[in-house]
């Protein structure tokens, strides 16, 4: 592979690894019984699309530590995309989201597999949960069979346990804070554990551990990765309400309807006066039109207009810019090869400045 960072070429490599590996595993699942075909289809669908950012950060954690390009490393990095696929299936289930990448989410699509079940919706949700569990198991399988030496894998294995624990902690914190009085600090903690760590920091650290990087470089990756991961999710929060659904592939306003503790909502609440807070309560309460998944589109527009008037989106943009600046400032202090510095700079911008 050329020293110059080619995101499209790298994505194609990861896609090939994932599609081949998951297709084989889905076939093995379906061979147990033809009734499992719809579940196998959803397992494959979960990895059909994606930016492959997590694999890219793992790859450059390896390369920045001085290691050469490696197909085995690409396979190991691809395992992180299976963690992401599992997290997405579970997250959509927890949030009851109807769309992902413009297609029905797993728990929605699987309703067709249980038309005669007395509790079809609950059964479909259970099938989706199990599909997500399988994807997480497959992540570990792909990692350990990547072809990297056992000693390399052993260096990174403890980080897998940490990644899973922190990801689950973030998901739990989001559930526990949903419906509470919006608070920016609480929202940022959810962001850090639910997204920032497993999207940027942990992939970098796993790549570095596989490479046998010194502790100093790993510490630098944490200082670079955490603010950048937070910027990634803050952008996602903005896109979730102000993005183009045709490009994001998700239903606009899902976060508001689900009363999720986003920093955007928390900043809106912080900037709002008593009358504006009262209106937000009316719009977003359990009986309010913005809090009802079937509510009026105009209610979401009113919340958006209030946010814009209070300049909450501008505040979140400032938070994103500050975190990207912090990450790039740290990167400038790290002793990494020029190709690694260039790639991590490009990845910082693609993670934080994107339309979907």
Residue 104 parent element (H or E): strand 103-104
- Residues of the chain above pLDDT 90, percent: 81
Q: What is the pLDDT of residue 102?
A: 83
Looking at residue 4, its pLDDT comes to 77
What tens digit of pLDDT does each residue of 78-125 get? 999 999 999 999 999 998 888 888 899 999 999 999 999 999 999 999
Pick the closest to residue 192 from 215, 221, 159, 169 (CA basis).
169
Residue 293 in this model has a pLDDT that exceeds 60: no
Rounded Cα distance between 313 and 296, Å, is: 22
pLDDT, tens digit, for every residue of 308-323?
A: 999 999 999 999 999 9
pLDDT for res 337: 94
Under the banding of pLDDT at 50, 70 and 90, the label for residue 287 is low
Give mean pLDDT, residues 328-338: 96
CATH number at residue 32: 1.10.600.10
Asked whether residue 288 is domain-assigned, the answer is: no
pLDDT category of residue 297 using cuts at 50, 70 and 90:
low
Domain membership of residue 112 as a residue range:
7-272+310-352
Q: Which helix (H) or strand (E) holds 283?
A: helix 274-284
pLDDT above 90 for 170: yes
Backbone angles phi, psi at 181, to 5 degrees: -60, 125
| pLDDT tens digits along 209-257 | 999 999 999 999 999 999 999 999 999 999 989 988 877 777 677 778 7
Sign of CA dihedral 169, 85, 35, 142: negative
Residue pair 88/100 in contact by the 8 Å Cβ criterion: yes
pTM value is 0.93
Report if residue 152 sits inside a domain. yes
The pLDDT score that the predictor gives to residue 3 is 67
Q: Which pLDDT band, with edges at 50, 70 and 90, does 1 fall under? A: very low
Does 303 map to a domain?
Answer: no
Residue 319 lies in a domain: yes
In a domain, 107, yes or no: yes
Residue 229 included in any domain: yes
Domain-embedded: residue 196: yes
Q: How many domains does the chain have?
A: 1
- Single out the residue of 86, 83, 89 nearest to residue 58, CA to CA: 83
Gap between the Cα atoms of 41 and 112, Å rounded: 12
**pLDDT recorded at residue 294:** 40
| Average pLDDT of the segment spanning 281-303 | 65
Structural domain includes residue 292:
no
Q: Return the pLDDT at 109.
A: 95
Rounded average pLDDT over 36-63:
97
Mean of pLDDT over the chain = 92
Residue 261 above 80 pLDDT? Answer: yes
Whether residue 295 is predicted with pLDDT greater than 70 in this model: the reply is no
Q: Residue 14 has what DSSP assignment?
A: H
Taking residues 346-355, what's their average pLDDT? 90
The CA-atom distances, in angstroms, between 94 and each of 50, 70, 324, 356 are 20, 37, 29, 21
């Amino acid at each position: 592979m050329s020293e110059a960072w080619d995101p499209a070429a790298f994505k194609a490599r990861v896609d090939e690894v994932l599609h081949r590996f998951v297709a084989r595993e889905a076939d093995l699942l379906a061979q147990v019984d033809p009734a499992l075909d719809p579940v196998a289809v959803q397992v494959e669908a979960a990895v059909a699309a994606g930016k492959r950012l997590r694999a890219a950060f793992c790859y450059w954690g390896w390369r920045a530590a001085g290691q050469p390009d490696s197909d085995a490393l690409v396979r190991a990095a691809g395992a992180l995309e299976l963690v992401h696929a599992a997290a997405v299936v579970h997250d959509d289930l927890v949030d009851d989201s109807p769309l992902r990448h413009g297609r029905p989410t797993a728990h929605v699509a699987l309703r067709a597999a249980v038309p005669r079940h007395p509790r079809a919706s609950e059964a479909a949700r259970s099938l989706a949960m199990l599909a997500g569990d399988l994807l997480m198991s497959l992540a570990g399988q792909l990692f350990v069979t990547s072809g990297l030496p056992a000693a390399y894998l052993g260096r990174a294995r403890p980080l897998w346990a940490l990644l899973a624990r922190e990801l689950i902690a973030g998901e739990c914190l989001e559930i526990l804070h949903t419906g509470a009085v919006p608070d920016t600090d609480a929202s940022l903690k959810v962001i850090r554990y639910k997204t920032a760590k497993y999207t940027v920091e942990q992939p970098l650290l796993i790549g570095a551990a596989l490479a046998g990087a010194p502790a100093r470089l790993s510490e630098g990756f944490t200082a670079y990765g955490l603010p950048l991961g937070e910027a990634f999710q803050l952008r996602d929060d903005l896109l979730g309400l102000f993005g183009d659904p045709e490009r994001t592939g998700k239903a606009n306003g899902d976060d508001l309807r689900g009363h999720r503790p986003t920093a955007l909502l928390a900043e809106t609440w912080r900037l709002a006066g008593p009358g504006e807070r009262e209106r937000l309560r009316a719009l977003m309460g359990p009986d309010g039109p913005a809090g009802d998944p079937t509510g009026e589109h105009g209610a979401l527009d009113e919340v958006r207009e209030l946010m814009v008037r209070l300049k909450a989106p501008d505040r979140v943009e400032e938070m994103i810019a500050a975190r990207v600046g912090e990450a790039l400032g740290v990167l400038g202090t790290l002793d990494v090869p020029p190709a690694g510095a260039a790639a991590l700079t490009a990845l910082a911008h693609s993670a934080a400045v994107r339309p979907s």
